[in-house]
Protein backbone atom coordinates (compact mmCIF):
# COMPACT_ATOMS: atom_id res chain seq x y z
CA UNK A 1 0.00 0.00 0.00
CA UNK A 2 1.38 3.44 -0.87
CA UNK A 3 0.38 6.97 0.27
CA UNK A 4 -1.72 7.60 -2.82
CA UNK A 5 -3.92 4.54 -2.19
CA UNK A 6 -4.22 5.52 1.48
CA UNK A 7 -5.32 9.02 0.44
CA UNK A 8 -7.90 7.65 -1.98
CA UNK A 9 -9.13 5.31 0.75
CA UNK A 10 -9.67 8.30 3.08
CA UNK A 11 -11.47 10.27 0.34
CA UNK A 12 -13.73 7.30 -0.48
CA UNK A 13 -14.59 6.73 3.19
CA UNK A 14 -15.33 10.47 3.56
CA UNK A 15 -17.65 10.47 0.51
CA UNK A 16 -19.58 7.41 1.73
CA UNK A 17 -19.93 8.78 5.27
CA UNK A 18 -20.99 12.22 4.00
CA UNK A 19 -23.71 10.83 1.74
CA UNK A 20 -25.01 8.35 4.36
CA UNK A 21 -25.13 10.92 7.18
CA UNK A 22 -26.68 13.61 4.97
CA UNK A 23 -29.60 11.29 4.15
CA UNK A 24 -29.84 10.22 7.78
CA UNK A 25 -29.95 13.80 9.08
CA UNK A 26 -32.47 14.81 6.43
CA UNK A 27 -34.88 12.39 8.11
CA UNK A 28 -34.99 14.37 11.33
CA UNK A 29 -31.92 13.13 13.22
CA UNK A 30 -29.16 15.59 14.10
CA UNK A 31 -25.62 15.64 15.46
CA UNK A 32 -25.01 17.61 18.65
CA UNK A 33 -21.96 19.74 18.07
CA UNK A 34 -19.52 20.81 20.79
CA UNK A 35 -20.19 24.11 22.60
CA UNK A 36 -18.34 27.02 21.05
CA UNK A 37 -17.84 30.03 23.35
CA UNK A 38 -16.32 32.11 20.56
CA UNK A 39 -19.55 31.77 18.59
CA UNK A 40 -21.52 33.09 21.55
CA UNK A 41 -19.16 36.08 21.62
CA UNK A 42 -19.73 36.66 17.91
CA UNK A 43 -23.52 36.53 18.25
CA UNK A 44 -23.50 38.99 21.16
CA UNK A 45 -21.22 41.35 19.26
CA UNK A 46 -23.32 41.16 16.07
CA UNK A 47 -26.53 41.95 17.96
CA UNK A 48 -24.88 44.86 19.79
CA UNK A 49 -23.47 46.30 16.56
CA UNK A 50 -26.74 45.99 14.62
CA UNK A 51 -28.77 47.51 17.47
CA UNK A 52 -26.25 50.31 17.90
CA UNK A 53 -26.26 51.09 14.16
CA UNK A 54 -22.49 50.55 14.03
CA UNK A 55 -20.33 49.49 11.11
CA UNK A 56 -19.36 45.85 10.59
CA UNK A 57 -16.75 44.40 8.27
CA UNK A 58 -16.11 40.83 7.17
CA UNK A 59 -12.66 40.21 5.71
CA UNK A 60 -12.46 37.00 3.68
CA UNK A 61 -8.74 36.55 3.40
CA UNK A 62 -6.29 36.75 0.55
CA UNK A 63 -6.81 33.48 -1.30
CA UNK A 64 -9.68 31.34 -2.49
CA UNK A 65 -7.46 28.30 -2.66
CA UNK A 66 -3.89 27.45 -1.72
CA UNK A 67 -1.94 24.21 -1.72
CA UNK A 68 -1.12 24.45 2.00
CA UNK A 69 -4.65 25.31 3.09
CA UNK A 70 -7.16 24.03 0.53
CA UNK A 71 -10.76 24.70 1.40
CA UNK A 72 -10.14 27.75 3.62
CA UNK A 73 -11.38 30.20 1.00
CA UNK A 74 -14.46 28.12 0.24
CA UNK A 75 -15.14 27.82 3.95
CA UNK A 76 -14.96 31.59 4.39
CA UNK A 77 -17.53 31.97 1.59
CA UNK A 78 -19.79 29.42 3.30
CA UNK A 79 -19.83 31.63 6.42
CA UNK A 80 -21.24 34.64 4.57
CA UNK A 81 -24.89 33.49 4.08
CA UNK A 82 -25.17 32.91 7.84
CA UNK A 83 -24.30 36.53 8.54
CA UNK A 84 -26.62 38.02 5.93
CA UNK A 85 -29.80 38.24 8.00
CA UNK A 86 -32.60 40.63 6.96
CA UNK A 87 -31.39 43.38 9.36
CA UNK A 88 -27.89 43.21 7.90
CA UNK A 89 -29.16 43.34 4.33
CA UNK A 90 -31.25 46.41 5.10
CA UNK A 91 -29.17 48.64 7.40
CA UNK A 92 -26.31 49.39 4.98
CA UNK A 93 -23.54 49.13 7.58
CA UNK A 94 -21.92 45.88 6.48
CA UNK A 95 -18.80 45.73 4.31
CA UNK A 96 -17.44 42.47 2.97
CA UNK A 97 -13.90 42.78 1.74
CA UNK A 98 -11.15 40.62 0.30
CA UNK A 99 -8.00 41.12 -1.72
CA UNK A 100 -8.81 38.53 -4.38
CA UNK A 101 -11.05 39.17 -7.35
CA UNK A 102 -12.52 35.66 -7.52
CA UNK A 103 -13.55 35.73 -3.85
CA UNK A 104 -15.07 39.13 -4.50
CA UNK A 105 -17.18 37.87 -7.41
CA UNK A 106 -18.45 34.88 -5.39
CA UNK A 107 -19.33 37.10 -2.42
CA UNK A 108 -21.23 39.49 -4.65
CA UNK A 109 -23.25 36.55 -5.97
CA UNK A 110 -24.00 35.27 -2.46
CA UNK A 111 -25.13 38.71 -1.33
CA UNK A 112 -27.41 39.18 -4.34
CA UNK A 113 -28.90 35.69 -3.89
CA UNK A 114 -29.52 36.21 -0.16
CA UNK A 115 -31.25 39.49 -0.90
CA UNK A 116 -33.43 38.05 -3.63
CA UNK A 117 -34.40 35.11 -1.39
CA UNK A 118 -35.91 37.59 1.08
CA UNK A 119 -37.21 40.28 -1.24
CA UNK A 120 -37.81 40.52 -4.97
CA UNK A 121 -35.71 39.11 -7.81
CA UNK A 122 -36.20 42.40 -9.63
CA UNK A 123 -34.35 44.36 -6.94
CA UNK A 124 -30.64 44.83 -6.41
CA UNK A 125 -29.57 45.25 -2.83
CA UNK A 126 -27.59 48.29 -1.70
CA UNK A 127 -27.28 47.36 1.99
CA UNK A 128 -24.11 45.28 1.85
CA UNK A 129 -20.98 46.72 0.28
CA UNK A 130 -18.56 44.28 -1.25
CA UNK A 131 -15.22 46.05 -1.43
CA UNK A 132 -11.74 45.23 -2.60
CA UNK A 133 -9.56 47.73 -0.69
CA UNK A 134 -6.49 46.55 -2.59
CA UNK A 135 -5.63 43.75 -5.02
CA UNK A 136 -2.51 42.64 -3.11
CA UNK A 137 -2.10 41.50 0.50
CA UNK A 138 -0.51 44.68 1.83
CA UNK A 139 -2.52 47.16 -0.22
CA UNK A 140 -5.62 45.40 1.08
CA UNK A 141 -4.43 45.72 4.67
CA UNK A 142 -3.53 49.39 4.15
CA UNK A 143 -6.99 50.13 2.69
CA UNK A 144 -8.78 48.29 5.48
CA UNK A 145 -6.74 49.94 8.25
CA UNK A 146 -7.88 53.28 6.85
CA UNK A 147 -11.53 52.14 6.77
CA UNK A 148 -11.43 50.75 10.33
CA UNK A 149 -9.82 53.92 11.62
CA UNK A 150 -12.64 56.09 10.27
CA UNK A 151 -15.49 54.11 11.90
CA UNK A 152 -14.84 53.43 15.61
CA UNK A 153 -16.47 50.54 17.59
CA UNK A 154 -16.33 48.40 14.49
CA UNK A 155 -17.46 44.77 14.46
CA UNK A 156 -14.73 42.92 12.60
CA UNK A 157 -14.95 39.32 11.40
CA UNK A 158 -11.79 37.77 9.96
CA UNK A 159 -12.38 34.49 8.12
CA UNK A 160 -10.21 32.77 5.56
CA UNK A 161 -6.61 32.52 4.47
CA UNK A 162 -4.43 35.23 6.07
CA UNK A 163 -0.81 35.79 7.02
CA UNK A 164 0.52 37.40 10.23
CA UNK A 165 -0.25 40.88 8.79
CA UNK A 166 -3.89 40.36 9.77
CA UNK A 167 -2.97 41.35 13.33
CA UNK A 168 -2.67 44.97 12.08
CA UNK A 169 -6.42 44.93 11.38
CA UNK A 170 -7.35 43.51 14.76
CA UNK A 171 -5.03 45.97 16.51
CA UNK A 172 -6.66 48.98 14.83
CA UNK A 173 -10.16 47.61 15.51
CA UNK A 174 -9.45 46.89 19.20
CA UNK A 175 -7.77 50.27 19.69
CA UNK A 176 -11.00 51.93 18.44
CA UNK A 177 -13.12 49.94 20.94
CA UNK A 178 -14.24 47.47 18.30
CA UNK A 179 -14.96 43.75 18.61
CA UNK A 180 -12.96 41.19 16.67
CA UNK A 181 -13.96 37.64 15.83
CA UNK A 182 -11.31 35.64 13.99
CA UNK A 183 -11.50 32.36 12.13
CA UNK A 184 -8.21 32.83 10.32
CA UNK A 185 -7.17 29.34 9.35
CA UNK A 186 -3.41 29.53 8.81
CA UNK A 187 -1.01 28.73 11.63
CA UNK A 188 0.87 32.04 11.32
CA UNK A 189 -2.30 34.12 11.48
CA UNK A 190 -3.61 32.13 14.44
CA UNK A 191 -0.34 32.68 16.30
CA UNK A 192 -0.35 36.41 15.47
CA UNK A 193 -3.98 36.88 16.50
CA UNK A 194 -3.84 34.78 19.68
CA UNK A 195 -2.50 37.56 21.96
CA UNK A 196 -4.99 40.13 20.62
CA UNK A 197 -8.28 38.43 19.91
CA UNK A 198 -10.43 36.81 22.57
CA UNK A 199 -12.91 35.26 20.13
CA UNK A 200 -10.41 33.29 18.08
CA UNK A 201 -11.40 30.00 16.45
CA UNK A 202 -8.46 27.65 16.03
CA UNK A 203 -7.60 24.61 13.94
CA UNK A 204 -10.33 22.51 12.38
CA UNK A 205 -13.01 24.37 14.38
CA UNK A 206 -12.84 26.91 11.53
CA UNK A 207 -14.74 24.44 9.41
CA UNK A 208 -17.57 24.19 11.96
CA UNK A 209 -18.53 27.85 11.60
CA UNK A 210 -20.86 27.70 8.56
CA UNK A 211 -22.93 25.02 10.31
CA UNK A 212 -23.02 26.92 13.58
CA UNK A 213 -24.32 30.02 11.80
CA UNK A 214 -26.84 28.21 9.57
CA UNK A 215 -27.32 24.56 10.53
CA UNK A 216 -28.27 22.10 7.78
CA UNK A 217 -28.25 18.27 7.42
CA UNK A 218 -25.25 18.46 5.07
CA UNK A 219 -23.22 20.49 7.53
CA UNK A 220 -24.16 18.20 10.44
CA UNK A 221 -23.02 15.29 8.27
CA UNK A 222 -19.76 17.14 7.59
CA UNK A 223 -19.05 17.52 11.34
CA UNK A 224 -19.75 13.87 12.10
CA UNK A 225 -17.66 12.69 9.14
CA UNK A 226 -14.80 14.95 10.21
CA UNK A 227 -14.96 13.64 13.79
CA UNK A 228 -14.97 10.00 12.64
CA UNK A 229 -12.08 10.59 10.23
CA UNK A 230 -10.13 12.37 12.97
CA UNK A 231 -10.48 9.40 15.33
CA UNK A 232 -9.54 7.06 12.48
CA UNK A 233 -6.46 9.16 11.75
CA UNK A 234 -5.40 9.19 15.42
CA UNK A 235 -5.62 5.38 15.58
CA UNK A 236 -3.67 5.09 12.32
CA UNK A 237 -0.90 7.38 13.65
CA UNK A 238 -0.69 5.40 16.93
CA UNK A 239 -0.67 2.08 15.05
CA UNK A 240 2.05 3.34 12.69
CA UNK A 241 4.15 4.54 15.65
CA UNK A 242 3.83 1.16 17.40
CA UNK A 243 4.68 -0.72 14.20
CA UNK A 244 7.73 1.49 13.71
CA UNK A 245 8.81 0.89 17.33
CA UNK A 246 8.68 -2.89 16.90
CA UNK A 247 10.49 -2.66 13.56
CA UNK A 248 7.68 -3.68 11.19
CA UNK A 249 7.56 -0.34 9.29
Partner 1 sequence: MKKILAISILLFIGLTVLAGYLFPQELSPILSLIIDWGILLIGTAVLIGIGYLIKRHISLISQREKQNFLSIILLLAFISTIILGLIFSFNHPVFTDLMINVQYPVETSLLAILAVVLLTASFRLISTRGWTPMSIAFLCSAVITLGLDAGSIYLGSGGAGDVILNFLRRLPLVGARGILLGMGLGGLIVGLRVLLTIEKPYGE
Closest CA to 61 of 167, 149, 137: 137
The site string for partner 1 over 74-113 (x = CB under 8 A, - otherwise) reads: xx-xx-xx------------------xxx-xxx--xx--x
- How many helices (H) and strands (E) in the chain? 10, 6
| Contact assessment for residue 204 and residue 227, using Cβ atoms and an 8 Å cutoff | no
Binding to partner 1 in span 160-189, by CB under 8 A = 164-165, 167-168, 171, 185, 187
Give DSSP secondary structure letters for 157-195: EEEE---TTHHHHHHHHHHTT-EEEEEE-SHHHHHHHTT
Q: Is 195 in the site for partner 1 (CB under 8 A)?
A: yes
Residues near 189 by Cβ (< 8 Å), separated by ≥ 6? 158, 162, 163, 164, 166, 167, 182
The CB-of-41 to partner 1 minimum distance in angstroms stands at 13
The CB-of-98 to partner 1 minimum distance in angstroms stands at 8
The CB-of-14 to partner 1 minimum distance in angstroms stands at 6
Q: Is 43 in the site for partner 1 (CB under 8 A)?
A: no
| Contact assessment for residue 210 and residue 75, using Cβ atoms and an 8 Å cutoff | yes
Q: Is 127 in the site for partner 1 (CB under 8 A)?
A: no
Q: Is 33 in the site for partner 1 (CB under 8 A)?
A: no
The CB-of-192 to partner 1 minimum distance in angstroms stands at 6
Binding to partner 1 in span 5-24, by CB under 8 A = 8, 10-11, 14-15, 18-19, 22
What are 208's strand-pairing partners?
none
Cβ proximity to partner 1, 52 vs 101, nearer residue: 101
CA angle 134/135/139 to nearest 5° reads 45
The CB-of-52 to partner 1 minimum distance in angstroms stands at 20
* Rounded-to-integer distance, Cα 182 and Cα 188, Å: 13
Q: Is 31 in the site for partner 1 (CB under 8 A)?
A: no
Q: Select from 33, 36, 119, 131 the one that contacts partner 1 (CB under 8 A).
A: 131
Collapse the DSSP code of 55 into the 3-class scheme (helix H, G, I; strand E, B; otherwise coil) and give the result. coil
Q: Is 235 in the site for partner 1 (CB under 8 A)?
A: no
Q: Is 124 in the site for partner 1 (CB under 8 A)?
A: no
Q: Is 38 in the site for partner 1 (CB under 8 A)?
A: no
Amino acid sequence: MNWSILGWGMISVAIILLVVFTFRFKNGKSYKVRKNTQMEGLNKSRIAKIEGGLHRTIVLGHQLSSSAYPGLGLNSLAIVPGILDPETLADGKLNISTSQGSLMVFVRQIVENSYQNGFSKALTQRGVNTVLPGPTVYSNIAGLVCELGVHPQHGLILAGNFGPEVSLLSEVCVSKNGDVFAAAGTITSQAALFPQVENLVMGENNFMLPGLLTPSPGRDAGWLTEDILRILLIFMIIAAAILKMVGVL
